[in-house]
């Protein structure tokens, strides 16, 4: 592990008061405590950069390489001025929906957010209580926190911790005379949804679901048990008719987002066009700030909910429609937030390599295991991949010759 990885999260021992609050809260047991001295240190190999310890430290002794307190406050102030909005919507990256979905979700709960400032963080538990007060002091009128359901929190305890903080903050605001709707908490989690008209009853989704969240029905399409679904998208990959998909990551939506993009990238630059399909937990800064992450690279990034949602068809489709290379940025098995059923995705990737070999495109696809604790690793790996692709002959496939795969 490089020095830049070690810098992603650290404890300033000169500031640390040895209170061990961080030690008691860390859901991954990534903070070690020396019993004699009480000194605490972060085990970077276990750390998932959830930020729970950072937000709980009473003396600001824990430092983060990104999503630090000052940066998110500056972002909120700057975006507020640009958007002329006075509602802040906090979203965990596990459930953060698109702009249209935000209003749809809130409308279903009779909440009208109007124009708003979106703030996506790795985990709801990263937001300290005093952030709420400073955001309101900075001109925000309402704050809405869209949190994962407790049992689906990818950081284990992040949602539960943040819910308690929001209850405390709301009680303080009420005592200060703020309206009841100043601070609101909404629970939301991405789920698989199915289309009865497309379903042919093959039950592949039932067999592949690692969470037993799909129930066989004797005389109709399978039923998704919403209370069990983790939104991993394993079912989506095996459905031959796009009858079951995870909301926000539908096949046609993803296809439309990169269709024709290779031609546009090549027209803009003479360098190879690269598509990155990244698990949303593998590299926070690259996914949330792609302009900075892709600086000097002729590439685009698309997010997938998990390695189980990395559809091999998109890899083949991208390479046969003009992209010169495709990268699958995924978490390691040790870091995977949804480890059940990972063997299914590994088998899918094995088949993908066979297909790409037959098409003569094997060298144009690469899997990279990344972690948010390794700052700068994504940029370094992408640069190396782009240089390797640039040394190859140009990919002569274009969008007019793309394969029409699983279009429903």
pLDDT at res. 69: 85
Same domain, 365 and 304: yes
Same domain, 222 and 350: no
pLDDT under 50: residue ranges of the chain: 399-402, 404, 407-408
Q: Which of 171, 187, 203 is the last residue of a domain?
A: 187
Q: Which of 224, 246, 268 is the last residue of a domain?
A: 246
Q: Exposed/middle/buried for 260, CB within 10 Å: 0-12, 13-18, 19+?
A: middle
Say if 401 falls within a structural domain. no
Residue 93 CB contacts under 8 Å (≥ 6 apart), including other chains: 120, 121, 122, 123, 280, 281, 284, 287, 288
For residue 75, count other CB atoms closer than 10 A to its CB: 14
Which position has the token pair 């679901």?
A: 209
Residue 103, domain CATH? 3.40.50
Residue 380 CB contacts under 8 Å (≥ 6 apart), including other chains: none
Alpha helices in 304-406 (DSSP H): 312-319, 342-358, 377-390
Question: What torsion, rounded to 10 degrees, do the Cα atoms 397, 401, 405, 408 define?
Answer: 140
Same domain, 181 and 304: no
For residue 112, count other CB atoms closer than 10 A to its CB: 10
Same domain, 99 and 219: no
pLDDT at res. 66: 77
Same domain, 83 and 96: yes
Same domain, 256 and 293: yes
Q: What range defines the domain where residue 263 resides?
A: 251-394
Same domain, 239 and 270: no
Q: Which of 246, 262, 278 is the last residue of a domain?
A: 246
Interhelix angle 129-137/158-175, nearest 10 degrees: 50
Say if 223 falls within a structural domain. yes
Same domain, 45 and 31: yes
Cα 201 to Cα 96, 219, 220, 239, distances in angstroms: 31, 9, 7, 10
Residue 203, domain CATH? 3.30.70.20
Say if 408 falls within a structural domain. no
Say if 221 falls within a structural domain. yes
Separation between Cα atoms, residue 275 and residue 301, nearest integer Å: 6
Say if 214 falls within a structural domain. yes
Cα 345 to Cα 104, 220, 302, 388, distances in angstroms: 31, 28, 18, 26
Say if 406 falls within a structural domain. no
Same domain, 211 and 173: no
Residue 344, domain CATH? 3.40.1400
Same domain, 283 and 309: yes
Same domain, 99 and 118: yes
Phi, psi of 237 (to 5 degrees): -70, -30
Say if 262 falls within a structural domain. yes
Cα 250 to Cα 13, 80, 194, 244, distances in angstroms: 47, 31, 11, 9
Say if 7 falls within a structural domain. yes
State how many domains the chain has.
Answer: 4
Whose CA is closest to 251, among 202, 312, 160? 312
Same domain, 75 and 44: no
Is the CB of residue 54 less than 8 Å from the CB of residue 8?
Answer: no
pTM: 0.90
- State both tokens at 90: 């906090």
């Amino acid at each position: 592990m490089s020095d830049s990885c070690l810098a992603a999260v650290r404890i300033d021992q000169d500031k640390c008061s040895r209170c061990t609050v961080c030690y008691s809260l860390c859901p991954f047991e990534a903070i070690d405590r020396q019993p004699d001295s009480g000194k605490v240190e972060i085990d970077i190999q276990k750390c998932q950069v959830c930020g729970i310890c950072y937000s709980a430290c009473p003396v600001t002794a824990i430092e983060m390489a990104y999503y630090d307190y000052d940066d998110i406050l500056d972002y909120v102030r700057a975006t507020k001025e640009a958007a002329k909005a006075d509602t802040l919507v906090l979203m965990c990256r596990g459930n953060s929906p698109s702009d249209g979905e935000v209003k749809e979700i809130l409308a279903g709960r009779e909440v009208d957010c109007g124009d708003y400032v979106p703030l996506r963080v790795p985990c709801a538990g990263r937001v300290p209580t005093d952030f709420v007060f400073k955001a309101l002091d900075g001109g925000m009128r309402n704050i809405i926190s869209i949190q994962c359901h407790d049992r689906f929190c990818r950081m284990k305890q992040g949602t539960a911790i943040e819910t308690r903080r929001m209850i405390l903050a709301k009680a303080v605001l009420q005592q200060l005379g703020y309206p009841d709707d100043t601070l609101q908490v909404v629970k939301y989690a991405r789920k698989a949804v199915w289309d009865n008209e497309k379903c042919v009853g093959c039950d592949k989704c039932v067999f592949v679901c690692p969470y037993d969240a799909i129930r066989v029905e004797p005389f109709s399409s399978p039923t998704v048990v919403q209370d069990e679904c983790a939104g991993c998208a394993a079912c989506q990959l095996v459905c031959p008719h796009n009858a079951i998909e995870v909301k926000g990551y539908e096949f046609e939506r993803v296809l439309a987002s990169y269709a024709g993009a290779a031609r546009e990238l090549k027209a803009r630059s003479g360098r190879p066009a690269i598509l990155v399909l990244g698990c949303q937990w593998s590299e926070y800064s690259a996914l949330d700030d792609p302009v900075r992450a892709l600086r000097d690279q002729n590439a685009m990034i698309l997010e997938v909910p998990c390695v189980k949602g990395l559809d091999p068809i998109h890899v083949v489709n991208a390479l046969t429609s003009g992209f010169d290379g495709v990268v699958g940025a995924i978490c390691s098995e040790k870091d995977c937030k949804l480890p059940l059923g990972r063997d299914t995705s590994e088998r899918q990737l094995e088949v993908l390599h066979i297909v790409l070999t037959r098409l003569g495109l094997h060298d144009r696809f690469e899997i990279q295991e990344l972690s948010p604790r390794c700052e700068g690793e994504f940029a370094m790996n992408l640069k190396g991949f782009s240089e390797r692709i640039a040394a190859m002959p140009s990919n002569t496939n274009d969008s007019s010759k793309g394969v029409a795969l699983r279009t429903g």
